[in-house]
Amino acid sequence: MIPPLLRYQINVVADRGLPTRMSRATLRGGVRRRIAVAVVLMLAPMAVVAALGDTSMAGLAVAAAVGVVLAVWFAALASLVIVTALWRRRLPPGTRMSAEFHHDAITYFLGRSGRIRLDEVSHLRDLGTAVLIVPARGPRILLPIELVPPPIAGYLTALCDADADSADGDARPPEQRTPTLQVQQHRDWVVEDIEGLTDFVAALRYWAAVQLVLDEQGCLRGAPLFGLPYVAAGRLVIPRGPGNAEDSDGFTDYSIRKESDGYSLRATTRSRGDWYLDRPTAWFGRFDDAARYFVGRNVAGPTRMRYRPTILPVTNLQWLDRGLAAGWVQSQHPVPGAVVSAKRCVTPDEPGRFYATNSGDSATSFLLNLSWRQLNETYTDGIPGIAKVPLRTFAGE
């Protein structure tokens, strides 16, 4: 089953060559029909000659076929010029374009805005310089390849294939079927059921306040790093804040997703033109461990590393080369979907509690042994000027 897509937005600016690329893709999208018409027109005179049995007309038939070929060639050239002019009028250089992919729809802006639901998409065609989105009914949509990077296109293609397979085995009318993309791999999250979510939100609020204070002092550029999480598409999304805005290197979006035996921390990244879509980076048996790991590795740790003008000690270095923390042992049980280097570490005294990271590190066990208060105090140690930021009371205190 294909997992739901997170909210994903791409913004680009039209360059001078875009109208030409779009016009070629436009014509390429209907090239099969034009070739079929050309073949019919070329063979028709010869078929007439063969039917009449008059060989004296063979030269005339060949000439007619050549004339048809030239006419088709000139028509294609004229079409390219006209379509290019239309695209140039619609998307002059400097025009801002965007595409936003939701778990249930695609919205886009190419001089004018549009929207299509994912369950209405029949299939996609890669035209080289653009992607043609073909709905089951209605007009087709042509998006520049810059707005539909390969991982997104691959995801949508897999989604269409999965939907087609589902439809083949479903005798109900289309309007009565549940679209594949709306079927969650696990039930929607119920916020009250997530143990540790309140402390997770409190920790994110605390670090956002710390980062804003440091930003005001000129010791941190951009704050906060993350916004407050929200539930969407069967997972907990942690949105990027101003401190993690997209730059020339790219960006990374994070989410925590329910799995059959726990939770996974997932990342979607664009790095210098390369895309990595919805990759799992760590696995946990309990949500509160996934939350503490995220705060330590992606919020608190980066805050210390970005602090200026002085360089603060790296907190995680104290846990390196020490083996596993007390209470943790390595298990031989594999981690589904993980790389070979990922090692499952468990706590025998707490059945169901485990963690695994792609790097197979042991330092995470020390981080997870910290309470929420200990974690926040450990990572704020030595950061000047933040004593005025209050640290709330956490569960169990």
Cα within 13 Å of Cα(16), Cβ side: 0
Instruction: Please check the confidence at residue 330 and state whether its pLDDT lies above 70.
Output: yes
Provide the pLDDT confidence category of residue 71 given band limits of 50, 70 and 90: low
- CB burial of 182-200 (b: ≥16 within 10 Å; e: otherwise) equals eebeeeebeeeebebbebb
**CA 115 centroid distance within chain:** 18
DSSP 179: P
How many residues would you count in the chain? Answer: 397
Q: Report, as an integer, the average pLDDT of 111-122.
A: 88
Instruction: Flag whether pLDDT at 347 surpasses 80.
Output: yes
The answer, yes or no, to whether residue 192 has pLDDT greater than 50, is: no
Give the end-to-end CA distance of the chain in Å, rounded to a whole number: 42
Helices (H), the chain: 18-29, 31-52, 58-90, 150-168, 197-216, 287-294, 301-306, 363-368, 372-380
CA distance 75 to 69: 10
Cα separation, 289 vs 291, in Å, equals 5
Q: Is the pTM of this model over 0.75?
A: no
**Tokens 């805050």 map to which residue?**
303
pLDDT beyond 80 at 102: no
At residue 278, the pLDDT reads: 82
State the chain's mean pLDDT as an integer.
79
- Contact between residue 255 and residue 235 where contact means Cβ atoms under 8 Å apart: yes
* pLDDT the model gives residue 318: 94
Q: pLDDT, tens digit, for every residue of 8-58?
A: 778 888 899 999 999 888 887 655 555 555 555 555 555 555 555 555 555
**pLDDT number for residue 263:** 92
At 340, is the secondary structure helix, strand, or coil? coil
What is the side-by-side order of every strand in the sheet holding 230-232? 230-232, 235-238, 250-259, 262-271, 274-284, 354-357, 344-346, 329-331
**If you average pLDDT over residues 315-333, what whole number do you get?**
93
Return the structure tokens found at 309: 């003008």
- Tell which residue, 214, 216, 202, 198, has the closest CA to residue 380: 214
d(C-alpha 111, C-alpha 145), whole Å? 16
What lies within 8 Å, CB to CB, of 391 at 6+ separation is 206, 373, 376, 377
Which residue, 79, 383, 333, 397, is CA-closest to 213? 383
